[in-house]
């Protein structure tokens, strides 16, 4: 027999539910088993978007059960058939249907939480929510969900096993553990959200005010073995490899809920899904996410909240291209990770050893983390170390981060150190501060400060947009809730920023105003205007000297249609000043067609045309281009049969850049160079067609076909627009760089 006691605010109720002795619950969405009648019910919900906080007991109700296997949540949504939208979506894709969102803080202290969302139609999302309330959807968990429909309501039934998450139970004198539970309904036709607490994840007091459930959680241990095998056949020359086969395994051992040991031999670090086409001529690297299971598990333990995406750990560095350039993906010999989450103390560490190849071009990665947490405060250390024998280079980083929050204030801070040993030692430092104040549910303000000195470098294992940088930002947001037949909310946002290098030289920065209008029919309008003051551009690339750019104004209007129905669309128009004296127009159109509840077709288009695009061609030489840039993507997703999914993605881009003027960066000004033409055309294509058969948690069969390539051609200015766009991309298809089939199987034992 399992004992459960639920405490919400000042109300406490005790229930003793013989779930473990009854017949197992069938996860079918119906909530018709007798044991659900004895479950604790939640009847009162509040409208949190818009944040009127009006109590409602006719939108949804929820029930909670638990047994030795895990926690069960049943949700009944009172929406008649004509007012609800049913649609399937792929794992972690955009959910364009009615859905329930569940936040579970298993430790009950805000150190981290897990998000589980399920649609009417079978779509799912899951994520890790860190102590800083950031959400990482790369994590995929072991859980079940099912829905059921009737004419007057639809219901969700969700089961999360205890072993699928890592947490430290906080036990009271009765031996019960307190778990935070947040339950929401997203009402698609109005874009309204209803929740059992008055906060959303955007509020600083979200964790502090989560309703708590006291549950007797059984002590458990678990051993999981996940072997995999992949076979890839290349139809084109790819580093002289036509066939590649690989096998390996991940081994997970949990002696308790709060401890996990992960060991991997030749682990499954291969990405099944391709990245988007990346056409990036700036000095700032494109930040990509990581879906590899070894790194998505227990990710919140290693998280540090630093501004502007600055990271000490960016796991896509691990297993990436070898240092000698011979491998696009470096094989991994082995990896190990250990995590312990105590009542107040958390610690974790991992080590990954890449294959050394024939010339020691592989790398070694190590990381260690310790943190201490009390009710409102958390502080800890993160250290990393990277060995790169090919360059005779060692890189270390260290961060001390702290977080404080109460019902009004939130504060995140981090002090950073880096040390690079390569021929000579280079030591850098940085600091990040983010303070927020919540005046009311509809009004908040924040101030941010980031400083990275010229020697700071975290790129061996982490990510940073740049160093030699001071960034400051003030943000004020205020929403007005309006109760009429056509408008429900207006949100105003003012953002002021200032940037400089570490010596105080003023860089480019923006000041902006944005208004967001939420309409009663589910449509949304956004109007935004940004002002960029005169400042120095010192990060254009190719180690070029800084130069001054003039002030500029950018304006944007965005419209989003209602998500209900079989067709939805969004469009934006932007008019900007850019470069030295240029103008640009930007248009985007996204369309979604759902001809069936199991099929989804998305067509996204982006086009920018302007004559002020600045690119560094080489050190101290820049070109202002008259360029046209177009990106088109077509995505198809479908549920072909139970557990069989189809996804297809074709993305192509055309960049036509005609030289308008070429300049040399002098000591005092830009010097125009005559008789120089750096015009070019960049054409890229990526396509992927994937079948996925779900065998269970961490158990799948994949069949993936990829084809595409990229072609960059230098032309004379007058030749730039001669070739049609489709004919230009045709070469990427008929003469591809990538043309392969991948077969992959993994299975959880």
* pLDDT tens per residue, range 85-120: 999 999 899 999 999 999 999 998 888 899 999 999
Cβ-proximal residues to 325 (8 Å cutoff; 6+ apart), any chain: none
Q: What is the largest CA-CA distance in the chain?
A: 86
pLDDT greater than 50 at residue 35: yes
Cα–Cα distance, 259 to 349 (Å, whole number): 12
- Encode pLDDT of 319-366 as tens digits: 888 999 888 888 889 999 999 998 889 999 999 999 999 899 999 999
- Please give the pLDDT value at position 269: 52
The answer to whether the beta carbons of residues 654 and 683 sit under 8 Å apart is yes
Cβ-proximal residues to 163 (8 Å cutoff; 6+ apart), any chain: 70, 142, 220, 222, 254, 257
254 token code pair:
């949990």
Confidence of residue 18 (pLDDT cuts 50, 70, 90): very low
State the chain's mean pLDDT as an integer: 91
The answer to whether the beta carbons of residues 50 and 192 sit under 8 Å apart is yes
Cα–Cα distance, 645 to 643 (Å, whole number): 6
Confidence of residue 272 (pLDDT cuts 50, 70, 90): low
pLDDT greater than 60 at residue 233: yes
Q: Which residues of 322-334 are buried (b: 16+ CB within 10 A; e: fewer)?
A: bbeeebeebbbbe
- Residue 333, helix vs strand vs coil: strand
- Encode pLDDT of 647-658 as tens digits: 999 999 999 999
Angle in degrees, CA 479, 484, 490, rounded to 5 = 20
Bridge partners (DSSP) listed for residue 128: 114, 136
Cα–Cα distance, 575 to 558 (Å, whole number): 12
Cα–Cα distance, 444 to 459 (Å, whole number): 34
CB atoms within 10 A of CB 631: 19
48 token code pair:
């949190």
Angle in degrees, CA 218, 223, 229, rounded to 5 = 145
Angle in degrees, CA 431, 432, 433, rounded to 5 = 130
pLDDT greater than 90 at residue 568: yes
The bridge status of strand 40-42 relative to strand 2-8 is unpaired
Which CATH fold topology does 2-220 show?
Answer: Immunoglobulin-like (2.60.40)
- Residue 205, helix vs strand vs coil: coil
pLDDT greater than 50 at residue 4: no
Nearest to 651 by CA among 543, 727, 729: 729
Count CA atoms closer than 13 A to 132's CA, side-chain side: 22
Across the range 37-52, mean pLDDT stands at 93
Across the range 446-452, mean pLDDT stands at 98
Q: Which of 328-342, 424-438, 558-572 has the lowest mean pLDDT?
A: 328-342
- Please give the pLDDT value at position 268: 63
- Please give the pLDDT value at position 240: 58
Query: Burial of 718 by CB count in 10 Å (0-12 exposed, 13-18 middle, 19+ buried)?
Result: exposed
pLDDT greater than 60 at residue 34: yes
- Please give the pLDDT value at position 110: 85
pTM of the model: 0.91
Place of tokens 């939130």: 410
The answer to whether the beta carbons of residues 590 and 604 sit under 8 Å apart is yes
Q: Which of 13-17, 219-223, 356-360, 625-629 has the lowest mean pLDDT?
A: 13-17
Task: Indicate the domain borders of the chain.
Answer: 2-220
Across the range 154-173, mean pLDDT stands at 91
pLDDT greater than 80 at residue 14: no
- Residue 718, helix vs strand vs coil: helix
The answer to whether the beta carbons of residues 47 and 63 sit under 8 Å apart is no
Better-scored residue on pLDDT, 181 or 237: 181
Across the range 567-594, mean pLDDT stands at 97
728 token code pair:
């230009």
Across the range 680-705, mean pLDDT stands at 94
- Please give the pLDDT value at position 289: 85
The answer to whether the beta carbons of residues 356 and 326 sit under 8 Å apart is no
Across the range 420-431, mean pLDDT stands at 96
pLDDT greater than 90 at residue 133: no
Q: Which of 192-196, 514-518, 712-716 has the lowest mean pLDDT?
A: 712-716
- Please give the pLDDT value at position 237: 75
Confidence of residue 303 (pLDDT cuts 50, 70, 90): confident
Nearest to 139 by CA among 109, 165, 161: 165
- Encode pLDDT of 585-598 as tens digits: 999 999 999 999 99
Cα–Cα distance, 254 to 170 (Å, whole number): 18
pLDDT greater than 70 at residue 458: yes
Confidence of residue 567 (pLDDT cuts 50, 70, 90): very high
- Please give the pLDDT value at position 484: 86
CA distances from 476 to 512, 524, 645 (A): 11, 21, 43
Nearest to 346 by CA among 382, 370, 367: 370
Cα–Cα distance, 77 to 153 (Å, whole number): 6
- Encode pLDDT of 387-403 as tens digits: 999 999 999 999 999 99
Altogether, the residues listed in the chain come to a count of: 749
Cα–Cα distance, 218 to 410 (Å, whole number): 34
Cα–Cα distance, 337 to 259 (Å, whole number): 11
The answer to whether the beta carbons of residues 60 and 52 sit under 8 Å apart is no
CA distances from 232 to 229, 706, 742, 748 (A): 10, 11, 4, 22
- Please give the pLDDT value at position 271: 54
- Residue 672, helix vs strand vs coil: strand
pLDDT greater than 90 at residue 412: yes
Let me know how many helices (H) and strands (E) the chain has, helices first: 2, 43
- Please give the pLDDT value at position 275: 78
- Residue 374, helix vs strand vs coil: coil
- Encode pLDDT of 589-640 as tens digits: 999 999 999 999 999 999 999 999 999 999 999 999 999 999 999 999 999 9
Q: Which of 24-33, 189-198, 266-275 has the lowest mean pLDDT?
A: 266-275
């Amino acid at each position: 027999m399992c004992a459960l006691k639920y405490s919400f605010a000042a109300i406490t109720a005790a229930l003793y539910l013989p779930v473990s002795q009854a017949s197992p619950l069938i996860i079918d969405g119906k909530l018709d088993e007798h044991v659900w009648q004895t479950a604790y019910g939640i009847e009162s919900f509040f409208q949190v978007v818009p944040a009127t906080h009006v109590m409602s007991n006719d939108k949804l109700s929820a029930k909670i059960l638990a047994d030795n296997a895990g926690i069960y949540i049943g949700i009944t949504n009172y929406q008649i058939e004509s007012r609800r939208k049913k649609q399937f979506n792929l794992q972690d894709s955009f959910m364009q249907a009615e859905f329930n969102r569940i936040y579970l803080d298993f430790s009950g202290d805000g150190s981290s939480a897990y998000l589980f969302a399920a649609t009417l139609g079978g779509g799912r999302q899951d994520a890790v929510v860190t102590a800083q309330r950031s959400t990482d959807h790369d994590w995929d968990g072991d859980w079940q969900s099912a829905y059921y429909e009737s004419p007057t309501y639809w219901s969700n039934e969700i089961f999360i096993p205890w072993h699928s998450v890592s947490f430290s139970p906080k036990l009271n004198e009765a031996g019960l553990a307190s778990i935070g539970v947040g339950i929401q309904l997203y009402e698609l036709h109005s874009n309204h959200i209803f929740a059992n607490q008055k906060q959303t994840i955007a509020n600083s007091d979200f964790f502090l005010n989560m309703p708590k459930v006291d549950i007797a959680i059984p002590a458990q241990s678990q051993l999981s073995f996940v072997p995999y095998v992949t076979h890839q056949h290349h139809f084109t020359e790819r580093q002289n490899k036509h066939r590649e086969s690989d096998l390996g395994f991940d081994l997970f051992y949990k002696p308790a809920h709060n401890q996990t040991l992960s060991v991997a031999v030749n682990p499954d670090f291969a990405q099944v899904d391709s990245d988007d086409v990346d056409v990036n001529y700036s000095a700032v690297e494109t930040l990509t996410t990581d879906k590899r299971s070894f790194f998505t598990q227990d990710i919140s333990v290693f998280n540090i909240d630093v501004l502007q995406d600055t990271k000490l750990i960016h796991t896509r560095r691990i297993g990436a291209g070898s240092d000698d350039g011979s491998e696009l993906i470096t094989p991994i010999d082995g990896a190990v990770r250990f995590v312990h989450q105590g009542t107040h103390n958390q610690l974790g560490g991992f080590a990954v050893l890449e294959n050394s190849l024939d010339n020691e071009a592989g790398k070694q990665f190590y990381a260690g983390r310790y943190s201490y947490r009390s009710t409102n405060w958390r502080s800890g250390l993160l250290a990393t170390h990277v060995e790169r024998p090919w360059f005779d280079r060692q890189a270390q980083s260290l961060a001390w981060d702290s977080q404080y929050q109460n019902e009004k204030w939130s504060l995140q801070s981090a002090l950073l150190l880096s040390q690079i040993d390569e021929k000579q030692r280079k030591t850098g430092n940085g600091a990040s501060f983010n303070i927020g104040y919540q005046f009311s549910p509809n009004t908040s303000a924040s101030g941010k400060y980031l400083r990275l000195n010229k020697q700071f470098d975290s790129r061996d294992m982490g990510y940073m947009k740049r160093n030699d940088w001071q960034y400051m930002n003030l943000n004020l947001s205020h929403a007005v809730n309006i109760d009429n037949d056509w408008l429900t909310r207006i949100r105003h946002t003012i953002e002021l920023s200032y940037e400089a290098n570490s010596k105080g030289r003023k860089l480019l920065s923006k000041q902006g105003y944005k208004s967001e209008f939420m309409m009663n029919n589910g449509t949304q309008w956004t109007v935004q205007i940004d002002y960029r003051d005169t400042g120095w551009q010192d990060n254009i690339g190719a180690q070029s000297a800084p130069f001054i750019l003039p002030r500029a104004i950018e304006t944007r209007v965005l419209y989003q249609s209602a998500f209900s129905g079989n067709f939805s669309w969004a469009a934006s128009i932007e008019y900007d000043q850019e470069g030295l004296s240029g103008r640009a127009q930007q248009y985007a159109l996204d369309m979604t067609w759902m001809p069936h509840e199991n099929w989804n077709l998305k067509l996204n288009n982006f086009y920018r045309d302007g004559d002020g695009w600045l690119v560094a061609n080489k050190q101290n030489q820049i070109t202002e281009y008259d360029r046209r840039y177009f990106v088109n993507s077509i995505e198809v997703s479908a549920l072909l049969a139970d557990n069989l999914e189809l996804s297809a993605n074709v993305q192509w881009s055309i960049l036509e850049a005609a030289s308008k003027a070429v300049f040399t960066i002098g000591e005092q000004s830009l010097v125009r160079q005559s008789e120089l033409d750096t015009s070019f055309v960049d054409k890229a294509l990526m396509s992927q067609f994937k079948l996925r058969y779900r065998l269970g948690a961490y158990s799948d069969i994949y069949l993936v076909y990829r084809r595409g390539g990229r072609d960059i051609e230098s032309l004379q200015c007058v030749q730039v627009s001669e070739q049609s766009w489709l004919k230009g991309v045709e070469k990427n298809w008929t003469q591809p760089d990538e043309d392969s089939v991948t077969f992959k199987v993994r299975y959880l034992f």
